[in-house]
Amino acid sequence: MPFPGVAAVEFDRVTKTYPGGVTAIRDVSLRIAPEEFVFVVGATGTGKSTLMKMIYREVLPTSGRVLVDGRDVTRMPARQVPFLRRRVGIVFQDFKLLPRKTAHENVAFALEVTGVPSREVTRRVMEVLEVVGLAARAHALPGQMSAGEQQRISIARALVHRPPLLLADEPTGNLDPDTSWEIMQLLSQINLRATTVVVTTHDKMIVDVLRRRVIALDGGAVVRDEARGRYGG
């Protein structure tokens, strides 16, 4: 899928070997265009999570370069990493919501700890809660919400910095099929609002129905990269 200009995400001959000798990613090169929607598929343990973690620099590659928005994050000084992460929204399988904060507070937290002025916080939080369709549940605690609602809140938190790139690592791994479908539709809508979305999944049905770009990993290497792909090729 060649395209002109700067890639939203680019991997250039990236290999990651963890201390202990496990090679999670083997010589991966790929480019993801701005505003693209990409599925990264593969069985558990094929390096999907490691791939994602290298984009937000939770993990550094053993060799090769990872570029986000044209910037090599592998050479980025540690003190700039927080500012990279404000431009990359991250969603997890286990939501990572703080249990003693309400939905509103969980989302506001992401703005507050990065020094956004308080008069702006409430407005922006309500804005993203609208986007994920949970404005009415703003004062519910995570324990009072369904798994699907909790995942929507975590998506709202990922979006509240208005990042150009959204990473979702197995976002439907803990959800039933109907809820999974709703979350995928939400991610598609976010993609339509000019956000690059990268989703790892092993949900065959969703990938096969949506027919988006599919990058398949096996043993840490890219074995397939199709523009309108299916889960099983």
Contacts to other proteins by CB under 8 A:
56-58, 78-79, 81-86, 90, 96, 98, 102, 104-105, 108-110, 112-115, 118, 122, 139, 157, 161
Q: Which two tokens stand for residue 12?
A: 């250039």
Distance CA(199)–CA(40), nearest Å, equals 6
CB closer to other proteins, 58 vs 176 = 58
CB closer to other proteins, 44 vs 118 = 118
CB closer to other proteins, 33 vs 198 = 198
Q: Which amino acid is at 208?
A: D
Q: In the bound complex, what is the minimum distance in angstroms from residue 102's beta carbon to other proteins?
A: 7
DSSP conformation letters of the chain: ---SS--SEEEEEEEEE-TTS-EEEEEEEEEE-TT-EEEEE-STTSSHHHHHHHHTTSS--SEEEEEETTEEGGG--GGGHHHHHTTEEEEETT----TTS-HHHHHHHHHHTTT--HHHHHHHHHHHHHHTT-GGGTT--GGGS-HHHHHHHHHHHHHTT--SEEEEESTTTTS-HHHHHHHHHHHHHHHHTT-EEEEEE--HHHHHHH--EEEEEETTEEEEEETT--S--
CB closer to other proteins, 54 vs 210 = 54
Q: In the bound complex, what is the minimum distance in angstroms from residue 165's beta carbon to other proteins?
A: 13
Q: In the bound complex, what is the minimum distance in angstroms from residue 98's beta carbon to other proteins?
A: 6
- Give the Å distances, CA to CA, from 43 to 148, 204, 212, 218: 23, 11, 18, 7
Q: In the bound complex, what is the minimum distance in angstroms from residue 112's beta carbon to other proteins?
A: 4
CB closer to other proteins, 52 vs 183 = 52
Q: Which amino acid is at 4?
A: P
Q: In the bound complex, what is the minimum distance in angstroms from residue 42's beta carbon to other proteins?
A: 23
CB closer to other proteins, 166 vs 214 = 166
Q: In the bound complex, what is the minimum distance in angstroms from residue 214's beta carbon to other proteins?
A: 26
